[in-house]
């Protein structure tokens, strides 16, 4: 029997299921206890599992991260929430210097099985420090697994898989998707093995490939639907896992279509989108009919709410990029 869940409820259910299955899973962060978090992702967990397993912390992100490192070193599986994307920056030194390096520093003797949940990206009318797309910082740091679900089902399955992962996972949650809904067969999902580390074809097409992750996947799908009305068939790849990156699925799509556009909300300079473009052109050069293009945020601080519509990748900007892919009939 299917159940209609929001993206936020799917995350909440994944946390509850893992806490039920594994007594070493602990959840903490700012306001995640009795309040249930700003976005209610931890709603009800303190009441169900007690204050020792889901609790509030002081407003001190570096302290949250340091405590999680110590817990993970001593046999627990901490899941910490950074309340908003840019709020995680005070903890960045802990992430880069210790979370990412501890297993390598100890020749694999000390593992850090922990999840850093980060509500990220724009589309909610927020201001700076609340809408950053910070994935490049983490993706550029060896030792971290970095994922960004784009569907309700992936929110559930990928968070459970992240908690079970033996190494640290940065789990990026697109805030604008928290209220999106899907019907899920939860009982079957609870028994299924996930596809962590793999991209998926979100929409099949033959003329060009749109490559996106997290909040940009739904925009890419809307662009593909609009292009279809104009007679152009666009395939959409949901990257899902930024690190490790699934070159196989992405390259297979681009070799089939011969054209590609990478879409991401983060500023384009020195970005994950830049890395994807480089990887595609290295692997698919002889199959390409045109250079791989990007549609990204601009190289500026995140704008005021009234201006974010101009900053974020839109259907029109994506279709303009597709039009620039050197079509023979253009």
Question: What CA–CA distance (Å, rounded) separates 117 from 96?
Answer: 16
Q: Which of 129, 130, 140, 286 is catalytic?
A: 130
Distances (CA, A) of 29 to 56, 117, 163, 196, 328: 5, 10, 16, 25, 54
Cβ-Cβ contacts under 8 Å for 307 (sequence gap 6 or more): none
Cβ-Cβ contacts under 8 Å for 282 (sequence gap 6 or more): none
Q: What angle do CA 79, 193, 184 make, to 5 degrees?
A: 80
Q: At 278, list the tokens.
A: 């480089």
Q: For residue 303, what is the DSSP state?
A: P
Question: What CA–CA distance (Å, rounded) separates 261 from 315?
Answer: 12
Mark whether 130 is an active-site residue. Answer: yes
Question: What CA–CA distance (Å, rounded) separates 25 from 18?
Answer: 7
Question: What CA–CA distance (Å, rounded) separates 124 from 263?
Answer: 18
Active site residues: 130
């Amino acid at each position: 029997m299917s159940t209609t869940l929001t993206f936020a409820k799917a995350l909440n259910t994944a946390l509850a299921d893992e806490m039920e299955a594994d007594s070493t899973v602990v959840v903490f962060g700012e306001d995640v206890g009795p309040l249930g978090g700003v976005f209610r992702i931890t709603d009800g967990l303190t009441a169900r599992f007690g204050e020792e397993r889901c609790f509030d912390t002081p407003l001190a992100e570096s302290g949250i991260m340091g405590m999680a490192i110590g817990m993970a070193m001593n046999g627990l599986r901490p899941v910490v929430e950074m309340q908003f994307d840019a709020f995680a920056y005070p903890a960045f030194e802990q992430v880069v210097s210790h979370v990412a390096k501890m297993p390598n520093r100890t020749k694999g003797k000390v593992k850090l099985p922990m999840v850093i949940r980060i509500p990220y990206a724009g589309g909610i009318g927020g201001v700076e420090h609340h809408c950053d797309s910070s994935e490049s910082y983490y993706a550029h740091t060896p030792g971290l697994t970095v994922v960004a679900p784009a569907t309700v089902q992936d929110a559930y399955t990928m968070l459970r898989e992240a908690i079970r992962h033996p190494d640290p996972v940065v789990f990026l949650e697109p805030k604008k998707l928290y209220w999106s809904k899907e019907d899920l067969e939860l009982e079957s999902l609870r028994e299924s093995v996930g596809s962590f580390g793999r991209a998926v074809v979100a929409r099949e097409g033959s003329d060009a490939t749109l490559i996106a992750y997290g909040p940009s996947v739904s925009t890419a799908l809307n662009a593909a639907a609009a292009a279809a009305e104009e007679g152009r068939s666009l395939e959409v790849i949901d990257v899902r896992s930024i690190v490790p990156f699934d070159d196989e699925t992405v390259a297979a799509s681009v070799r089939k279509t011969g054209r590609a556009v990478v879409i991401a909300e983060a500023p384009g300079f020195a970005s994950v989108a830049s890395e994807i473009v480089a990887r595609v052109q290295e692997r698919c050069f002889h199959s390409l009919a045109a250079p791989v293009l990007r549609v990204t945020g601009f190289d500026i601080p995140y704008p005021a709410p009234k201006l974010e519509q101009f900053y974020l990748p839109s259907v029109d900007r994506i279709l303009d990029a597709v039009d620039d892919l050197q079509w023979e009939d253009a």
